[in-house]
Amino acid sequence: MKRTMENQKLIDIRNLVKRFPIGDGSFTALRGITLAFAEGEFAGLVGPSGSGKTTLLNIIGSLDTPSEGSVTVLGREVTHLSHREAAALRNHHIGFIFQTYNLLPVFTVYDNVEFPLLLQKGGAAGRKKAVMKALEWVGLADKAQSRPAQLSGGECQRVSIARAMVKRPQLVLADEPSANLDADNSHHILRTMKRLNRELGTTFIFATHDEKVMHYLDRIIGLEDGRVARDERIENTTEDDHPPASGEIGGSELPGEEDFARP
């Protein structure tokens, strides 16, 4: 069963300012950002280094707090969240995909994907089913017992996607997910994410300056010097333009609502 995309406000950002202290002064990374993201968006924050993409992504992900303004994520004002509440928000509702994958090297692929679910203290049987399903989405079910060191960069990023998606979050934040990958692997993981976005209705927000990513986005928000320089919605068919490269995902059927218990 496919989830219905609703144009509800998932994220509401108003007059967001973020300053970082530097010596006696401060550096302003974000200058009065006002944005909103609806559920089911596949959007990207683009711009040169230092434009504030990652800072904005971190604040949306409740990893950082605003200096001024308000940021409401899934109905929660992140400025007022305690550490514990922010951790719970991230654990239950937000998935992260990092440029450097950030997999736990001592764990197997299975253990890495299972990790967020262990923090939710669910049943073992449900966890196993969810982990295997997530690995099937990204075409790595056969590598469940491999270690990250035994995988290619593309495979590591697919594990990272499975880890972000296994708990069925409403929001996935991806910081330069394709920066360390070659073209084939970049398209591969982007197609996977696009497909998850369409089939599950999960909102994806990217921070990127990779042209390849931009071709997949439905919305591009250009940042310059901490300000929104442009905000465009795009109709694209990029997924269909790039057929799967050899060895890509096996087209595992995406799960329906009954496969997961959303926290």
Partner 1 sequence: MLALKLAIRNLLGAGLRTWLTAGVLSIAFVVMVFYQGLLDGWNLHARSTTREWEIGGGQYWHPAYDRFDPFSLQEAHAPLSPQALELAAAGRIVPELITQATAYPDGRMVNLLIRGIPPGQQLLSLPTAALAADSVGIPALIGRRMAASLRLQPGDALLLRWRDRSGVFDAREVTIVGIFRADVPSIDQGQIWLPLATVQEMTGMAGEATLLVSAPDQAPLPLAGWVFKDTDFLLKEFTEVIHSKKAGSSIIYGTMLAIALLAIFDTQVLSIFRRRREIGTYMALGMTRGQVIGLFTVEGAAHSLFALLLASIYGLPLLHWLGTHGISMPEVADATGMTIGDKMLPVYSAGMVLFSVAVVILSTAIVSYLPARRIARLKPTEALRGRAQ
Strand-pairing partners, residue 162, are none
For residue 81, the minimal CB distance to partner 1 (Å) is 12
Query: 250 CB contacts (<8 Å, ≥6 apart)?
Result: 136, 139
Measured from the CB atom, the residue of 173 and 220 that comes closer to partner 1 is 173
Measured from the CB atom, the residue of 174 and 200 that comes closer to partner 1 is 174
One-letter identity of residue 136? E
Measured from the CB atom, the residue of 92 and 129 that comes closer to partner 1 is 92
Q: Which of 152, 162, 158, 157 is nearest to 114 (CA)?
A: 162
Euclidean distance between CA atoms 204 and 219, whole angstroms: 10
Evaluate whether 212 touches 189 at the Cβ level (below 8 Å).
no
For residue 14, the minimal CB distance to partner 1 (Å) is 21
For residue 240, the minimal CB distance to partner 1 (Å) is 32
Evaluate whether 59 touches 171 at the Cβ level (below 8 Å).
no
Q: Which of 96, 110, 100 is nearest to 142 (CA)?
A: 110
Measured from the CB atom, the residue of 22 and 258 that comes closer to partner 1 is 22
Evaluate whether 239 touches 233 at the Cβ level (below 8 Å).
no
For residue 94, the minimal CB distance to partner 1 (Å) is 8
Measured from the CB atom, the residue of 40 and 95 that comes closer to partner 1 is 95
Structure tokens at 244: 């799967």
Three-state DSSP class for 170? coil
Q: Provide the sign of the torsion angle of the four alpha carbons 69, 73, 77, 82, taken in this order.
A: negative
Measured from the CB atom, the residue of 20 and 233 that comes closer to partner 1 is 20
Residue 203's CB is within 10 A of a number of other CB atoms, namely 23
For residue 176, the minimal CB distance to partner 1 (Å) is 12
Contact residues: partner 1, CB under 8 A: 58, 61, 63-64, 83-84, 87-88, 90-92, 96, 98, 100, 102, 104-107, 115-116, 118-120, 163
For residue 104, the minimal CB distance to partner 1 (Å) is 7
